[in-house]
């Protein structure tokens, strides 16, 4: 709310500047004819118009491109795009898939509280692995095609990453992406887990990294884990790769999940992954990891003590010095409306917003971490033919100036 008030105040100041400028630029009364209209676009200097357009939400900037040739030239300038992210940070959007067989769906803008029909590039189905950071999204297919792309879902620009590890031979894979906001370089991390043949408790776990500046892949770690395997959940936060490990029956921890921390900036001195295990705060039916302003946040379904497979609530935790601090729990009225019998769900976030979505319905719940507020989004405009489908989605930051 504080950010919105600041934006409105600045907009009011700019509106007064326009009014004052127009009043000084109007012709004298003796030259005016009744009914004459003075176009603001004709009298407004280009630099002032450019500065005003920078304060528009992303969706409004797209509409500005269609107003006239002059406005389109302004919003496509390299200077405009480079300054855009420094003027008014955009709220993260949430893309909701409405069909598991096709990559079609709607993107929700929490600033204007509107849904937009969006067609994603590269991706073929919603079953692909997806990771996002700093305005870019990474899509990874895990079937026989074995494809990996990094793209900007707003501008539709993308790049296919070649020569990546053969993922189709893994039992489990986790994908993470980290974008440098200044240089726009990025790192892609893939955690692979494959069961050792003729064993039950032993798993080969390897970490593969792609650096856009070097345009190369490396495998800094490969080891055999006893009783633990990697899953599909990972994120990069402050130069550390975090991923969830799952007990296969031979682990040392009582809980189903454990968090693994791997320092990407000092790979050579990293000990065994099991020595970096961080216990989760309680038994979780499912857990989702996300990077919110440099803080590692986990959203998890809390299992009942007697029946771990039954969810009794949804909690939110922040990791501080290898210890979890609970910062929020879904209120009962939202939990009942969300689906108290769904023990797994989709969740992702950026900035201060966390999006939580049931797999069984196109409903979206939003938690504002800065104001400790829970709120439903407006109803997604999904059509009836998708009413019996499987729903999922992901969060991304809408940015125009970044490209892979």
- 401 or 270, higher pLDDT: 401
Q: Is the pLDDT reported for residue 373 higher than 90?
A: yes
The hierarchical CATH code for the domain 90-396 is 2.120.10.80
Which of 222, 125, 93 is CA-nearest to residue 170?
Answer: 222
Q: Given this model, what pLDDT does residue 344 score?
A: 86
Contact status, residue 80 vs residue 74, Cβ threshold 8 Å: yes
Q: Given this model, what pLDDT does residue 4 score?
A: 39
- 251 or 101, higher pLDDT: 101
Confidence class of residue 33 from pLDDT cuts 50, 70 and 90?
very low
Place of tokens 């992702």: 348
Number of other CB atoms surrounding residue 89 within 10 Å = 12
Q: What is the mean pLDDT of the chain?
A: 81
Q: Is the pLDDT reported for residue 3 higher than 60?
A: no
Q: Is the pLDDT reported for residue 38 higher than 60?
A: no
Q: Which two tokens stand for residue 317?
A: 């935790």
Would the CA dihedral through 145, 151, 154, 155 be positive or negative? negative
273 phi/psi in degrees, rounded to 5: -60, -35
What is the spatial distance between Cα 176 and Cα 4, in angstroms, rounded to a whole number? 31
Q: Is the pLDDT reported for residue 239 higher than 60?
A: yes
Confidence class of residue 177 from pLDDT cuts 50, 70 and 90?
very high
- Percent residues over pLDDT 90 in the chain: 38
Query: What is the rounded end-to-end Cα distance, in angstroms, of the chain?
Result: 32
2-25 vs 46-53: helix crossing angle, rounded to 10: 160
**pLDDT, average across residues 332-345:** 77
Q: Is the pLDDT reported for residue 324 higher than 80?
A: yes
What is the spatial distance between Cα 303 and Cα 289, in angstroms, rounded to a whole number? 18
Contact status, residue 357 vs residue 373, Cβ threshold 8 Å: no
Confidence class of residue 225 from pLDDT cuts 50, 70 and 90?
confident
Q: Given this model, what pLDDT does residue 27 score?
A: 41
Query: Using one digit for the tens of pLDDT, what is the confidence trace for 83-103?
Result: 776 666 678 999 998 766 666
Would the CA dihedral through 312, 313, 316, 320 be positive or negative? negative
Q: Give the DSSP H or E segment for 49.
A: helix 46-53
Query: Using one digit for the tens of pLDDT, what is the confidence trace for 296-315?
Result: 999 999 988 766 677 889 99
Q: Is the pLDDT reported for residue 236 higher than 80?
A: yes
Residues of the chain with CATH 2.120.10.80: 90-396
Which of 302, 319, 298 is CA-nearest to residue 311?
Answer: 302
Contact status, residue 217 vs residue 163, Cβ threshold 8 Å: yes
Q: Given this model, what pLDDT does residue 340 score?
A: 58
Extended strands (E) in 110-239: 114-119, 129-133, 136-140, 148-151, 158-160, 172-179, 186-195, 202-211, 216-226, 228-237
Query: Using one digit for the tens of pLDDT, what is the confidence trace for 278-292?
Result: 989 988 889 999 999
């Amino acid at each position: 709310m504080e950010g919105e008030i600041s934006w409105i105040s600045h907009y009011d100041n700019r509106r007064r500047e326009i009014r004052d400028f127009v009043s000084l630029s109007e012709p004298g009364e003796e030259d005016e004819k009744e009914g004459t209209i003075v176009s603001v676009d004709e009298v407004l200097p280009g630099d002032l118009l450019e500065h005003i357009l920078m304060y528009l939400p992303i969706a409004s900037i797209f509409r500005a491109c269609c107003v006239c040739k002059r406005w389109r030239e302004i919003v496509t300038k390299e200077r405009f795009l480079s300054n855009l992210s420094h003027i008014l940070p955009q709220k993260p959007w949430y893309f909701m898939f409405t069909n598991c067989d096709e990559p079609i769906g709607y993107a929700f803008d929490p600033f204007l509280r509107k849904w937009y029909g969006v067609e994603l590039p590269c991706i073929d189905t919603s079953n692909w692995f997806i990771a996002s950071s700093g305005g870019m999204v990474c899509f990874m297919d895990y079937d026989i095609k074995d494809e990996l792309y990094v793209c900007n879902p707003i501008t539709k620009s993308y790049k296919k990453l070649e020569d990546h590890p053969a993922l189709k031979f893994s039992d489990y894979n986790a994908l993470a992406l980290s974008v440098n906001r200044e240089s726009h370089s990025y790192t892609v991390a893939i955690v692979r887990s494959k069961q050792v043949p003729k064993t039950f408790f032993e798993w080969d776990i390897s970490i593969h990294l792609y650096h856009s500046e070097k345009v190369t892949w490396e495998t800094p770690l490969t080891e055999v884990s006893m009783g633990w395997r990697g899953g599909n959940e990972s994120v990069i936060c402050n130069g550390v790769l975090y991923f969830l490990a799952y007990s296969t029956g031979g682990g040392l921890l009582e809980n189903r999940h454990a968090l693994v921390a791997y320092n990407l900036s000092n790979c050579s001195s990293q000990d065994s992954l099991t020595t970096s295990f961080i216990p989760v705060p309680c038994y979780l039916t499912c857990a989702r990891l996300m990077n919110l302003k440099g803080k590692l946040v986990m959203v998890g379904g809390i299992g009942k003590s007697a029946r771990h497979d039954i969810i009794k609530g949804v909690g939110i935790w922040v990791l501080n010095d290898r210890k979890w601090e609970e910062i929020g729990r879904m209120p009962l009225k939202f939990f009942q409306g969300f689906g108290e019998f769904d023990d797994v769900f989709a969740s992702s976030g950026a900035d201060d917003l966390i999006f939580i979505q049931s797999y069984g319905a196109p409903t979206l719940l939003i938690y504002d971490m800065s104001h400790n507020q829970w709120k439903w989004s407006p109803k997604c405009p999904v059509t009836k033919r998708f009413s019996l489908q499987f729903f999922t989605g992901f969060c991304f930051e809408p940015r125009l100036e970044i490209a892979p």
